[in-house]
Amino acid sequence: MKKEKTLVVIKPDGVQRTLIGEIIKRYERSGLKLVGLKMRVVGEDFIRKHYTVDPEWFLKTGKKTIESYAKKGKTPPSEDPLEVSEIVFKNLVKYIASGPVVAMVWQGMHAVGIVRKITGITEPLTSDMGTIRGDLTIDSYEVADVDSRAVRNLVHASGSIEEAEKEIALWFKPEEIINYRLINDEILYDVNLDGILE
Ligand code: ADP
Ligand code: MG
């Protein structure tokens, strides 16, 4: 549990907004440990693989989008979740493939949940202040739809432990994940905190 890992990808808008440092800082200061890092440009096939590691992704994303419309009293582009998410996916490919991205693996207790909390929910309009998506950008499903594009929300973060395992295996070779000790680990994980006083 203390070595739980999760994948974060700074999307092309995050790189273009020169927010790489700011974004890394937010995860780093939480106490999680950076154990893998690379910059890449990815294409459609890779992006499809990335989003289909969760076979439910198309259904869930379609439902989430329809719900978000309903909450605002608006009509979604279709009532069929799979149709909605196909549109989302097509736009998502254009977005993620548009420029370099920075992929990272973060490790530590509850890494998946902590990273999702720091990241904020999908839509910047409704994500909380204090989160990356809430503080550092502006966008909404509605405006993205009008322009037929994906919601630009700076980062991807794995949604569950299972998703994280599959995504990390897709983005990183085992030897690209570094096992090392940080002094911080002593304070975060030591049971007795008995190594401080001389
Ligand atoms: P998250 O990134 O929060 O896990 P999803 O996995 O549901 O969100 O969706 C993946 C990405 O697809 C989102 O981060 C966002 O960029 C884009 N996206 C999701 N739903 C929509 C939508 N309804 N309209 C436009 N873009 C969307
Ligand atoms: Mg997701």
State which of 98, 119, 138 marks the end of a domain: 98
Structural domain boundaries, residue 7: 1-40+103-190
The mean pLDDT of 126-133, rounded to a whole number, is 97
Q: Are residues 74 and 122 in the same domain?
A: no
> Counting atoms of ligand 1 from 1, which one is nearest the CA of 60?
7
Chain centroid to Cα 147, Å, comes to 23
- Which residue's alpha carbon is nearest to atom 9 within ligand 1? 61
Q: Are residues 145 and 59 in the same domain?
A: no
Residues in the chain: 198
The pLDDT of residue 102 is above 90: yes
The mean pLDDT of 7-26, rounded to a whole number, is 98
Cβ 37 vs Cβ 176: under 8 Å: no
Mean residue pLDDT across the chain: 94
State which of 77, 98, 119 marks the end of a domain: 98
**Pairwise pLDDT comparison (4 vs 78), residue with the higher score:** 4
- Which residue's alpha carbon is nearest to atom 7 within ligand 1? 61
Does the model's pTM come out above 0.85? Answer: yes
What is the DSSP secondary structure assignment for residue 128, as one 8-state letter? P
CA of 165 to the centre of ligand 2 (A): 14
Beta strands of the chain (E only): which ranges?
A: 5-10, 33-40, 101-107, 155-157
Cβ 7 vs Cβ 104: under 8 Å: yes
- State the burial class of residue 108 (Cβ atoms within 10 Å of its Cβ: 0-12, 13-18, 19+): buried
Tell me the catalytic residues: 156
Using CA atoms, how far residue 61 sits from 126, 158, 173, in Å, is: 16, 14, 28
Q: Are residues 94 and 108 in the same domain?
A: no
Q: Are residues 163 and 140 in the same domain?
A: yes
State which of 98, 119, 144 marks the end of a domain: 98
In a domain, 195, yes or no: no
What is Dmax (Cα atoms) for the chain?
Answer: 66
Cβ 107 vs Cβ 32: under 8 Å: yes
CA of 74 to the centre of ligand 2 (A): 23
> Counting atoms of ligand 1 from 1, which one is nearest the CA of 121?
3
The pocket around ligand 1, CB under 6 angstroms, is made up of 61, 64-65, 88, 92, 122, 141, 144, 150-151, 153, 156, 159
Q: Are residues 23 and 110 in the same domain?
A: yes
Q: Are residues 31 and 60 in the same domain?
A: no
What are 65-75's pLDDT values in tens digits? 899 888 888 88
